[in-house]
Structure 1
Amino acid sequence: MKKKLFQTISIVLAFSLINSPLFACTGITLKSQDGGIIVARTVEWALSDAQHNKILVVPRNKNFTGQTPEGFNGKKWKGKYGFVTLTAYGQNYGPDGLNEEGLYVGVYYLPDFAEYSDYDPTKAEKSMSVGDLMQWMLSSFKTVEDVIANLDKIIVVDVKNEKFGGADLPFHFKIADAKGNSKIIEIVNNGEVKIYDPYLGVITNSPTYDWHITNQRNYLRLSNIPNTPIEFEPYNLKPLGGGSGLIGLPGDFTPPSRFVRAAAFTATCRPLKNSIDAVFESFRILDNFNIPLGAQIPKDHIPKGISSATQITTSSDLKNKVFYFHTMWNRQIRKIDLKSIDFNTVKEQILDDDAFKTNNIKDITPN
């Protein structure tokens, strides 16, 4: 009976995984003692190689036109600020971006909950796609306060983009600035905009953000303090090792479990002296969220062309305007210093440091 039940569960699980490609991302925020603000995240996209490792550099004063279901007839604007952004499938937007003023915009998957406005042709001049929304924020504003104050001036509509790996584009956003301000933006219920204060700077995926906050109430006793030994004559029971206060911390890769785990690691983070210390700590924490392909996808349905579900991990230093990252192809941390870019003269271009798609190994074997 147990064997049949296990087989049934396995079949149902495999079917759900085959029909639900893995789009799982985890975001955190760390602060250093010198006033540094570090916003970091993983990008999981186990559909195919989305080319998230290719980074677009966008100059100041670029002219943009928003996309609607009718084409490129949406909101027009001229960008004030230059920025860098991850890409996806050759599109000019992706999961993560940082502008020259230190404004960060992160895009996270929100399937079954994100719902944009129905397109009204009479309001085309205010309309844009969800990808345009990311570019509009990065190119137009330098603070979270400015973004929130202007959200009522645009309408995000559903635009099918077959070039985006064939996937739907239900997203929510985490934005942050160099002052330490941050918000979560969700568009639900046919265009209703909801704004939340991030809980410890953490974000994952579905359900909506308010659900995750409620779910945190199930984990109030988690602690980095070891459990106290208990004596039952003639036994004296002690914890078996370090970390006993976090027994019950969920270890699976679902969005609710990753949210709880990311919040726990953020809350217990050691003191961080400066920004670069926080950058490296963000990568250490996010190593706990790397998802091997085989962990969530049956062997006979693993997509070709990628070596990991976690295609890229980024860490943005908002105070110093530096964008750090490593990828599934190369675990070496690389950086783009936005302060060193003249966004008035730089040409729009793609940076691809993974052309050979080879992880380097340094041989230090003694002779």
Structure 2
Amino acid sequence: MCTSVAFSAPRKLFGRTLDLEYSFGQQVVITPRNHPLHFHRRSTMAHHLAMIGMATVDRDTALYAEAMNEKGLYMAGLNFPGNAYYTPPEQAAADAVAPYELIPLVLGRCETLAQAEAILKGIDLLNLPFAPGYPVAPLHWHIADGTGSMVLEVMEDGAHLYPDPVGVLTNNPPFPYQQMNLSNYQTLSPHPPRNTFAPELPLAVYGQGMGALGLPGDVSPMSRFVRAAFLKENALFTGDELQDVTQFFHILDGVSMVRGSVITPEGKPDLTLYASCADASHGVYYYKTYENHQINGVRFTEALMDGEALSCYPLENQQHVHWVN
């Protein structure tokens, strides 16, 4: 389970929590412009836009959970079990792409959300793993840039592209139901409530935050969608680069999972392995992990973008404490 949040212009901050019961060997990876991108059924992209994000690396290939390219286009894959549909190889189109190929394809070719939309319309996803032993993860995708965001869901009845004015994506149910569900919470507010229940009764406001009574507090996908949307819409930003990044992480904290609060059917604790924030305005990918809440950053520099070899940065998982005495 995961939550993705996208702020378009003027902030251009994109990121997500990744909630999972096990590590997948994740690290921050920069794929430079001249590192070949290989596809099962499409030609190799020898030259492409550079990208940075969280990935596991195998066989000189970055398998991205989410990434941003050098033009500020962001894409994240989130769990979508029971609804995601991938076409069997014998039935798939000649240009079908495997799910793990989708982020490199889009971020390697597209500078804008509009360009991404053009190549994702009617996309056929190929039911093939990266390699033996790798699962074919059931996903849907959040795509965003400075102009807005959209959601791609490929289901048995075809590929669906939805505008996402909320700038939020979680997991099930499909996106139209998530967006419709927000109507149930339109009376919530960050301000003190006004007594519309019985104006003639002396009903007291006895504490701060009562305007948001009814905001769901659990970590189910629909509840996280509502809570992330409420926090995103009401969060105040200063315009300072680091303060705004810090505020972004506070929003993600509001939908993060504490180890032990969610137990999977296999008896394992689900938790937020990491939270990320890609700052398209300044070319920095920030992250923090469950074990280390210090914000860490990797700069997306021209020198790193223009090479051939992957640049990999293992995560800083040791908690850092600033002692003041």
Q: TM-score, normalised by structure 2?
A: 0.89
Within the alignment, does 1:362 sit opposite 2:322 as a pair?
yes
Give the direction of change, closer, same or farther, for the CA distance of 1:268–1:189 in structure 2 (3 Å limit): same
Deviation at 1:146, TM superposition (A): 1.0
The separation in 2 between residues aligned to 1:134 and 1:101, in whole angstroms, is 14
Counterpart in the other structure of 1:319: 281
CA distance in 1, matches of 2:197, 2:62: 62
C-alpha distance in 1, partners of 2:35/2:56?
20
Alpha-carbon deviation of 1:299?
A: 11
Residues 327-342 of structure 1: pairs in structure 2 closer than 5 A: 327-342=289-304
Q: Distance in 2 between matches of 1:348 and 1:133?
A: 18
Question: Cα deviation per residue 1:52-102 (whole Å; 9 max; x = unaligned)?
Answer: 2x12221113332223xxxxxx21231411111311475621321011111
Task: Indicate how the Cα distance of structure 1 residues 274 and 185 shifts in structure 2: closer, same or farther if over 3 A, else same.
Answer: farther
One-letter amino acid of the structure 1 residue matched with residue 175 of structure 2: Y
Letter in 1 for 2:151: I
Query: Could you tell me the TM-score, scaled by structure 1's length?
Result: 0.79
Counterpart code for 1:332: Q
Task: Please give the secondary structure, in 2, of the residue aligned with 1:138.
Answer: helix
Q: 2:118 aligns with which of 136, 149, 164?
A: 149
Q: Secondary structure at the match of 2:44?
A: strand
Query: Counterparts of 2:160 and 2:7 in 1: how far apart (Å)?
Result: 24
**Equivalent residue pairs, number:** 321
Query: Deviation string for 1:21-52 (max 9, x for gaps)?
Result: xxx111222357xx221112111011x11122
Q: d(CA) in 1 for partners of 2:8 and 2:29?
A: 27
Alpha-carbon distance change, 340 to 61 in structure 1, aligned in 2, over 3 angstroms: closer
Q: Does 1:103 align with 2:73?
A: yes
**Equivalence for 1:200:** 166
Query: 1:258 — aligned with what?
Result: 224
Give, in angstroms, the shift of residue 268 of structure 1.
1.1
Asked whether the 8 Å contact 1:63–1:76 carries over to 2, the reply is no
Match of 2:313 among 328, 346, 351: 351
* Structure 2 gap segments, 5+ residues each: none
Correspondence 1:173-322 to 2 at 5 A: 173-177=141-145, 179-189=146-156, 192-228=158-194, 236-297=202-263, 301-302=267-268, 309-322=271-284
Cα shift readout 1:89-129 (whole Å, capped 9, x = no counterpart): 756213210111111111111111111223237844x1221
Question: In the alignment, what sits opposite 2:25?
Answer: 51
8 Å contact kept, 1:40–1:314: yes
Which has a greater percent of helix?
1
Amino acid at match of 1:58: T
Query: How does 1:71-82 map onto structure 2 within 5 Å?
Result: 74-78=41-45, 79-82=47-50
The CA RMSD over aligned residues, in Å, is: 2.7
